[in-house]
Amino acid sequence: METVAIRGVPTRTWKHAPRSLAALAQSSCAHGDRLFLVHEDERVTFEASYRAVATLAAALAARGIVKGDRVAIAMRNRPQWPIALMAIASLGAIAVPLNAWWTGGELAFALADTGARLLIADARRHERLLDHYADLPALEAVLVSGWREKAGGDAEALEALIGSPNDWARLPEVPFPEAEVAPDDPVTIFYTSGTTGGPKGAVGTHRNLMSNILSSAFVSARTLLRRGAPLPERSQPQTVLLPIPLFHVTACSAFLMIALATGGAVVLMRKWDAAAAMALIERERIEAIGGVPAIAWQLLEHPDRSAHDLSSLVRIAYGGAPAAPELARRIHAEFGAMPSNGWGMTETMATVASNAAEDYLARPTSCGPPVATADLKILSPDTGERVPQGEVGELWARGPMVVQGYWNRPQETAAGFVDGWVRTGDLARIDAEGFCHIVDRLKDVVIRGGENIYAAEVEDVLYAHPSVTDCALVGIRHRTLGEQPAAVVHLAPGTHADEAELQAWVRARLAAFKVPVAIRFVEATLPRNANGKILKRALREMFAPEP
């Protein structure tokens, strides 16, 4: 490690991390004919990926994309997604990964918010945006993958520029861009919903994105040393099944970047399906799978599990949602694989703390100690002072993985990022051995299977319904997803609305995962404390626990 000044704050960093994603993309060519990406019948080597990245970067440059420009990506997990990311980064431009589950309006908001000059999308996302392009004057070009009809407006077919994945190995050699990119230059804007209702773009740097590579290697080495096992001479590439979306930092930073650095293969799933995943694990001899706890639960409890050979699995990693302590024990007992859990957030570009193998089995309620370049502290939400060891307070984190701040949100950046530290909004405690335990959340957020649902966003939509005069969104426990959103509503006198009507109202305006799974109606306005804040703990008791 070495200490460098990041935005004026001395920060421990990984001394030998790649300088930038552009440098990593270029060096990944050294993995040659090793398999990099698998998606259905598409198989892409590192050499083929390198050719596609260079070709697409040249096409973007020909369309006027330069350093600092924002280029959005809106598609499900497909080989074109990482190619687009690397091509954008190689020019010094800023990639804006958009949530593929968003509605057209939500996608358009982020495009307008960042002033994106160009969009790379799949056909479904393009279709959702057709009615919104006229309201996006900054958007100059749209490249669409898999568009089988005549592209709307001025959209171009992405395949006309780079061909299909199985053809990338035959692309002619194109010089790789030579943009000047520094470690602390911005490279991504990942969106995280805001407590005031609108999404916020977290501005990540090349250093943020590269830090996870060595943090992961550190955690692996720490696990071996604590077991008493020898360290390997070099990192061994693994074949990883990636069913979680690349538009989340966990998939992009904690899995894709590591594969690029080590020469590992990434098997992509367009959407999660447990039966399809077991078939892929068997066919591709998958060694590791990453995601949220629900994925591990569904593999464990699938009725056809015994019909598949899952013996290749050695690691099952998850995070992003509450996990029952029994999950780690069952993974080890029934799969013979080592479980691992971690904690991070969009604002930290993935992993800050990690708990793996025997340490996790011994402490199944902990997300682990921080990685070597990270620091954690627990402060009282009321006084701002450090709390005694073992007591609960708000978790703060710092390190080279903490993002610059929020795009065009100076006030929220100032409130959330202080002297290199990020306020996480999680309530936690740190035990005597330095292991962090997340116990609750200070922020008003429901985490459904790893997807953040901020209450204010859904509440604002419910309030817009003409019959709703008071409402609150709460999280109700779910065994596999961790939580699900539910709502309590008070209707205006003389009006009527039922659960199905309000669910349809939300579904028409927000992504499907944000729709309340249950709605309870109350005769009186919702209970509040002396400061006027709704007492949500009491409201959760209205929903029967999952059987």
Q: How far apart are the C-alpha atoms of 117 and 355, rounded to whole Å?
A: 41
Query: Residue 463 in contact with residue 280, Cβ under 8 Å?
Result: no
pLDDT higher at 197 or 462:
462
Question: Does residue 271 have a pLDDT over 80?
Answer: yes
Work out the percent of the chain whose per-residue pLDDT is above 90. Answer: 73
Residue 153: predicted pLDDT = 59
Question: If you average pLDDT over residues 5-22, what whole number do you get?
Answer: 96
Question: Does residue 289 have a pLDDT over 70?
Answer: yes
Q: How far apart are the C-alpha atoms of 117 and 537, rounded to whole Å?
A: 44
Question: If you average pLDDT over residues 390-394, what whole number do you get?
Answer: 90
Q: According to CATH, what is the number of the domain 445-540?
A: 3.30.300.30
pTM recorded for the entire structure: 0.84
Residue 321: pLDDT band (50, 70, 90) is: low
Size of the chain in residues: 547
Q: Is 257 helix (H, G, I), strand (E, B) or coil?
A: helix
Secondary structure of 426-483 as H, E, C letters: EEEEECCCCCEEEEEECCCEEEECCEEEEHHHHHHHHHCCCCEEEEEEEEEEECCCEE
pLDDT higher at 458 or 150:
458
Say if 15-203 and 445-540 have the same CATH topology: no
Q: Domain-by-domain residue ranges, the chain?
A: 15-203, 205-372, 445-540
Question: If you average pLDDT over residues 119-147, what whole number do you get?
Answer: 95
Residue 382: predicted pLDDT = 81
Q: According to CATH, what is the number of the domain 15-203?
A: 3.40.50.980
Q: Is 179 helix (H, G, I), strand (E, B) or coil?
A: coil
Q: How far apart are the C-alpha atoms of 235 and 440, rounded to whole Å?
A: 35
Question: If you average pLDDT over residues 390-416, what whole number do you get?
Answer: 95
Question: Does residue 194 have a pLDDT over 60?
Answer: no
Q: Determine the residue type at 290.
A: G
Secondary element (H or E) of residue 428: strand 421-430
Residue 4: predicted pLDDT = 97
With b for 16 or more beta-carbon neighbours within 10 A and e for fewer, the 213-248 pattern comes to: bbbbbbbbebbeeeeeeeeeeebebbbbbbbbbbbb
User: Parallel, antiparallel, or unpaired for β 199-205 and 405-406?
Assistant: antiparallel
Structure tokens at 355: 């708990």
User: Parallel, antiparallel, or unpaired for β 338-345 and 315-319?
Assistant: parallel
Question: If you average pLDDT over residues 232-249, what whole number do you get?
Answer: 90
Residue 530: predicted pLDDT = 46
Question: If you average pLDDT over residues 226-230, what whole number do you get?
Answer: 93
Question: If you average pLDDT over residues 69-74, what whole number do you get?
Answer: 98
Question: If you average pLDDT over residues 171-193, what whole number do you get?
Answer: 93
Of the listed ranges 369-378, 426-435, 469-478, the one predicted with least confidence: 469-478
Residue 74: predicted pLDDT = 98
Residue 83: predicted pLDDT = 98
Question: If you average pLDDT over residues 18-30, what whole number do you get?
Answer: 96
Backbone angles phi, psi at 395, to 5 degrees: -85, 130
Q: How far apart are the C-alpha atoms of 410 and 452, rounded to whole Å?
A: 22
Strand partners of residue 386: 379
Encode pLDDT of 141-176 as tens digits: 999 998 766 555 579 999 999 999 999 999 999 999
Of the listed ranges 11-15, 65-69, 298-302, 333-337, the one predicted with least confidence: 298-302
CATH of 205-372, one of 3.40.50.12280, 3.30.365.10, 3.40.50.980, 1.10.600.10: 3.40.50.980
Residue 443: pLDDT band (50, 70, 90) is: confident
Q: Determine the residue type at 8.
A: G
Residue 534: predicted pLDDT = 76
Question: If you average pLDDT over residues 2-28, what whole number do you get?
Answer: 96
Encode pLDDT of 462-481 as tens digits: 988 988 878 889 999 888 88
Distances (CA, A) of 127 to 107, 121, 123: 11, 10, 6
Residue 380: predicted pLDDT = 92
Q: Determine the residue type at 69.
A: D
Residue 541: predicted pLDDT = 84
Residue 198: predicted pLDDT = 67
